[in-house]
Amino acid sequence: MDCAARTHSVVFSALFPKNSANSRVFTVKCSSKNLSLDGASSGLVERPWKVADARLVLEDGSIWKAKSFGARGTQVGEVVFNTSLTGYQEIITDPSYAGQFVLMTNPHIGNTGMNFDDEESVQCFLAGLVIRSLSIRFAPQIGDAQRPLVTIWLKGTSWVYVSPIRVVYKATSHFHFKLWNSSSLIYQPLYHATDDVDTRAITRRLREDGSLIGVLSTENSKSDEELLEMSRTWDIVGVDLISGVSCKSPYQWIDRTGSDWEFNDNGRNKETFNVVAYDFGIKHNILRRLASYGCKITVVPSTWPASETLKMNPDGVLFSNGPGDPSAVPYAVEAVKELIGEVPVFGICMGHQLLGQALGGKTFKMKFGHHGGNHPVRNLRNGCVEISAQNHNYAVDPESLPDGVEVTHVNLNDGSCAGLASSKMKLMSLQYHPEASPGPHDSDPALSVVTEIGMDKALTTVVSLKSSTFWVSKKAKQEISNISNDLSNLSNTVEEKAKWIFNKLKGKPTKSLPDLLREYNLPCGLFPQNITCYEFDESNSKLIVYLPSTCEICFKDSSVMRYATRVKGTLSRGKLAGVDGMKTKVLVWVKVTSINVESYKSDKLWFNAGVKKSRSKVAYEIPRDAVKVEEF
């Protein structure tokens, strides 16, 4: 049986009649022989969904024509783009996308079908899905991991296809499926979804302007002006989205996934650790991974009092991922505050941001956030780089954190904070998903070390040792690596100080580089923090800045600057001209030739990098730490 309809099962939900217990259930496995032809144009596959004209209207005034294969009507949401090549089933069932339209940059979606084990929640919470091309076939699973691809309910003489997201179709022939309109089976769309739209053009717009509010509509009665007004009057900032996705009462997680789907099932039946997980929109795979390492997990609502959690005497508390603005849920921040120091805690994504706020730090909204399974993150303790899965629009400002809290990981794309830890307060957190669903499994040891040696010991060991690493089995190798890194850092420090002494002996000015930039009406954060080696010849205004290594900085406006080991330019009032040794990220790396402020009171900083483009001057007012990179 060909199940082309299965690919689009996420578009509809179905309610079974109360007497459905009398129905018989059959399992059917699909043969790849039936999947050699693709597309309704072949004449062999009939699209089992209705298509309608749709419009996506963005708050910047752009209007995008599309075809709707989802819910009818009008829906407003924040448009974000996801760079994952696979894993659309996990994405559409991820509660962290509540209130958002997810735009997939991968042009072809649907060709891997759906399965019963990869749902991340019991329903779809996202506002809508925007894709370029919708597949009407899928690739069946083969080998030892083969799973039933179709479940058939036999009711009378009608064969009905039931997907994991409760969708009902009636098989009319070997290849054909049609939606079954029956008095005993009611279907309704789950969310808005469109295809046949230029997703990459929209992605470029989002990268330039940041995440935009959009309205997706199939209603011809609404004018473009009305939809545009809706997009400009709706806001997602400050809205409590967590209360809409969290569970309503505590429950114990029971893992129904087969053990052969896991990398580790040694602890599956042990239940060594008692963990309380706060549900801010928790993904099932986080719970699956913890269970596979021997955790007995009690999931509690987002509003669960900290006092009740402590009565459970847990070995550790997990603060999960979730949607929206962490500042919109002060009740969650208060619960986190009360638990810090009382019991070991571990935060993921939203949990990481809530920990940051509970510690007294600040969070800020990013330009377009991180959404995808290909984000490089550097572990600052051992220098290792992990490719991570991320889904968030907010980040913790590391400069606002108190003493005693260590930034353990940074995102290499923009330098944002990706991990925190404190041995004294028994906490650690990650801004990305170590369970990787979807995504790579580079970060899975973050879960294994917490469970295999105990959360309390893991926090003390991992945070306090300079040479510590999540990869416990590779400890000796990484000890050597850390020694090498320390020697390299020492060499760079000696080189930098030597240049500083040499400059002093030559009679160069002793004022700091930030002070020099302020004197010439330029932001003092143009260069990395703690740069002491520079030469400035006032007779010809030539400035040379020395850096110990090639490095880059991500500023608060999400812009990125990269520096060579020597940056040269001509410094004058409000301008650094003839620049050599600086690049900025504009889709690709482009050399910066000049930087200037047009007037003393101007809040704009103008960069000439092929074209002249302005950025917020405020973002460059505070010197920031740089991240070392391999090449300029």
**Which of the residues 30, 124, 295, 349 is marked catalytic?**
349
C-beta atoms surrounding 559 within 10 Å: 20
Q: Is the dihedral of CA 492, 494, 498, 504 positive or negative?
A: positive
**One-letter amino acid for residue 229 of the chain:** E
For residues 80 and 59, the answer to whether their CB atoms sit within 8 Å is no
Measured CA to CA, the distance from residue 332 to residue 262 in angstroms comes to: 31
φ, ψ (nearest 5 deg) of residue 29: -105, 140
> Is 349 one of the annotated active-site residues of the chain?
yes
Please return the burial class of 310, using the count of CB atoms within 10 Å of its CB with bins 0-12, 13-18 and 19+: middle
Which DSSP symbol is given to 449? Answer: H
- For residues 48 and 172, the answer to whether their CB atoms sit within 8 Å is no
Q: Are strands 52-58 and 63-68 parallel, antiparallel or unpaired?
A: antiparallel
Residue 272: which residues within 8 A CB-CB, separation 6 or more?
294, 295, 451
| Spatial CB neighbours of 419, under 8 Å, sequence gap ≥ 6 | 352, 377, 379, 407, 408, 409, 410, 428, 429, 430, 431
Catalytic: which of 120, 433, 524, 552? 433
The residue behind tokens 């993904």 is 283
Q: What's the rounded Cα separation, in Å, for the pair 325 and 548?
A: 38
From 90, 386, 435, 452, the catalytic residue: 435
Q: How many CA atoms lie within 13 A of 611 on its CB side?
A: 5
Q: What is the DSSP letter of 176?
A: -
* Nearest alpha-carbon partner for 352 in 108, 96, 573, 66: 96
How many CB atoms are located within 10 Å of the residue 364 CB?
Answer: 12
SS3 502: helix
The DSSP output letter for 405 is: -
Asked about 435 being catalytic, the answer comes back as yes
In DSSP notation, 52-117 reads EEEEEEETTS-EEEEEE-S--SEEEEEEEEE--SS-HHHHHT-GGGBTEEEEESSSEESTT---SS
The closest alpha carbon to 466, from 517, 515, 525, 423, belongs to: 423
Alpha-carbon distances of 526 from 195, 272, 367, 567, rounded to whole Å: 43, 51, 20, 11
**Which residues participate in catalysis according to the annotation?**
349, 433, 435
